[in-house]
Amino acid sequence: MHSYEHFWLDPKFWVAISFVAFLVLFGRKAWAQAARMLDARGERVRAELDEAERLRREAESMLKQAEADRAAALREAEQLLARARAS
């Protein structure tokens, strides 16, 4: 085994320093990219939720209209039957 007089002469020291430097430099970029991707996904999810809420309100409105139309048709049918019986 090699016995180095100073720790900075040991190649393992420089490999460790290089690895830490790589992690610091690359880690910042990777973290920033991951944060941007998560923010973009959050915006897409928010937009999809807004669209779903709009579609739900539209469907509720259509349901109320359909129920009103059904009730009007039922009243008209009852009136027609009443007139037919009266004749």
Span 60-71, pLDDT tens digits = 999 999 999 999
Is the sign of the CA dihedral 71, 72, 73, 76 positive or negative? positive
Element (H, E) at 24: helix 11-86
For the chain, domain boundaries? 37-87
- Contact by Cβ (8 Å): 39, 32: no
Look up residue 40 and give its two tokens: 């973009």
pLDDT for 8 equals 74
Inform me whether the pLDDT recorded for 1 exceeds 70: no
* Length of the chain as a residue count: 87
- Contact by Cβ (8 Å): 13, 7: yes
Q: What is the pLDDT of residues 17-61, one digit of tens each?
A: 999 999 988 988 899 999 999 999 999 999 999 999 999 999 999
